[in-house]
Structure 1
Amino acid sequence: MIFFWGWGMVYLTVFFKKSSGEIIRTEKNKYVASRVALRRFLGVDDVSDIGVTYLEGVDELAGEGWRVIQPPHGGKVVVTKDGLNLSEEVAIEKARKYIGKNDVVHVQFEGGMGDYLLQCDALRHAVREYSKKEFVCYVDPTRVCLLEKVDLPSCVKFVSGTIREKEYVDMRKITGMDYFHPPAGKAYTYGVLLGFRHDIGFCRIVLPSHLVSWAMEERARILQGDGFLVALHWQSGQPANAKSWFWEKVEQFTERIGEEGGKVVVLGGYGEKVETKVKGLFQRQGVLSWEQVAAMVGASDVVVAIDSAIMHIALRMSKPIVSLWGPTSKEWILPHFAKHVPIEGACSKRPCGRYNCVGRECMGKIEVDSVIKSVLMVISGQSGILWDKY
């Protein structure tokens, strides 16, 4: 080993030059709370080019060639000149040590429902990686109903609430790691936290027949005859954050889809309904359970979605997807085997990862014409969309 594996509260503080990534100093268990503290500790007046990052589970760096890089998304990463990612090595070693000595593996989930499904993808592979293990996953109680419809084996169980175990796999650690891993996407880093590096196939959502029947009845009520149904998710957060499209474009899209024989059902969260006079626009935000949302996705002919849980649900139900990308990127989020029609907003600053951008220039550049064209391609079967890996 070229570094020492430490556990518990051990961490290494790494001081580096922002301009070059050169590591200028390391200290064990040294937390630097401010720029003033940084100047005082290093004994220099100018710290504008000096950055600090922390490596949990590392006591010291040995050998030469280490440097710090900042990937497009995620935390700062310490790597060798050959590209070895120290944070990933530590996470893999720690996970394998913990999982290897326990028959029951406790896992704390993190993020939104879309992140949950990516973690399910990683768990699906973990079950094969570690035979004869039971995985107990701690999750948001409102999401258990849908997670139990994911086609994971019986050795994976979902428990409401926050973990109380002293040792566990903490998926929240992803916030300090690099998850820019094209072509595998964010699921790759969830896999790292479970102790492996592999391409990860995606899970499937399998709904009971009564939910499928309910959704098909809802579809019939909306269409009132022939035509096609578009499930649309346009808003992230309340109020809308930078991943969101624009309501006026939703209305224009609905009117244009109506001219082509289609209708639109809008999915989303509580408080997202908007007053509208547009015909053929059916709002179901905030009134459906996660199971019912998935059922409506399944009953649609095509899904138009921003980077959101709805997009991830559609992927795992083998539905055609037209995805809309602004501050985030499909290379960060989606696994490479998800073949769909992505539309990216034209902005020189994207993908920036900033959800608090007020102007939302990137999403504003996604034109209704482009979305309509992509939807009609999908409906006519000319898009070449395939789902070829499970």
Structure 2
Amino acid sequence: MNHDPLFQTLRLGALTLPNRIVMPPMTRSRASQPGDEANELMAAYYAQRAGAGLIVGEGTHIAPLAKGYAWTPGIHTPAQVAGWRKTTEAVHAAGGRIFAQLWHVGRLSHSSLLGGEQPVSSSAIQAVGVKVFIAGEDGRTPGFVQASAPRALSVAEIGEVVEQYRAAARNAMAAGFDGVELHGANGYLVNQFIDSNANTRSDEYGGSLPKRLRFLGEVARALIDGCGDASRVGVRLAPLTTLNGCVDDDPETTYLAAAKLLGELGVGYLHIAEADWDDAPLMPLAFKQELRAAFPGVLIYAGKYTAERAREAIAAGWADLIAFGRPFVANPDLPERLRTGAPLATHDRATLFGGGAHGLTDYPALAESLA
């Protein structure tokens, strides 16, 4: 029996995860153009990292207006579904498990990414000072620009977005994913409904906390229906961060209520994103323990965890799985390196977004680098 907390198995619905190490979603902006289609290069990248207990694929937009960054993949056309099937088949052939992260950026977009259309949000509030990644006027030269001013979704349009999520979940299952993760964090559309300062609506989707959580609940139910199994649905939340201009007046109350709601719906896991920048506020241990009490499913934490901190979190019982983001970029065999205490390679920041194989699939495993 393995007594290392990081290398104990875990049951997630019908899946048995061989370890507690998660590769979280990380935008890499290498989808094939035109069409925003996942490709063979991306399949190779994920297959290299199939040693993770669970992979959550990069943010994948559910509809044309859901897109917020250049060269990101979608999952709303037949070609996009076929493209993602290359990745799921490669990961499964390598012995891995992979969820699709379903993404609607809401106001965090630019009209140049949306065919000239205006971004949408819970309310017509611009994310001032927030930059998004675009392809440039020539379609090839990347750069960051101020996010465009959004318009508020009508109630009818909110219903249409919920249906887009349902269709995306069905497409993910058709593409061979083991499940889906709803991106409800980091200031994107779901977060724009939840957080009080981003939602000024006075209808059934704004105002009181239950109304601000209504969109989250409707989307979660749609994903459960689309997957056919609540345990195949996860939700990513960022309770105490203020990324991309989303701030809540009482975040602990808000996100404990969100966790309770999602627990009642039976979703398989919550993926909690902690602030991971320098001098960021720490998430209090008491709050993590309250989340554990509020949510009966699996809890994943992400946020600059070391192997030592990860083991402590799992042993303490408030975390079940730990996600390692940046370390997975340059260490395709990260679980083995963590198991043996081997040194970790450092990623090249210049190759994170856009480009080809360099900085994506050419990082060697430890044995290769030593050779």
After TM superposition, is the score higher than 0.5? Answer: no
TM-score (norm 1): 0.24
Point out the structure with max Rg over C-alpha.
1
Query: Higher helix fraction: Structure 1 or Structure 2?
Result: 2
- Higher fraction of strand: 1
How does the TM-score come out when normalised to structure 2?
0.25
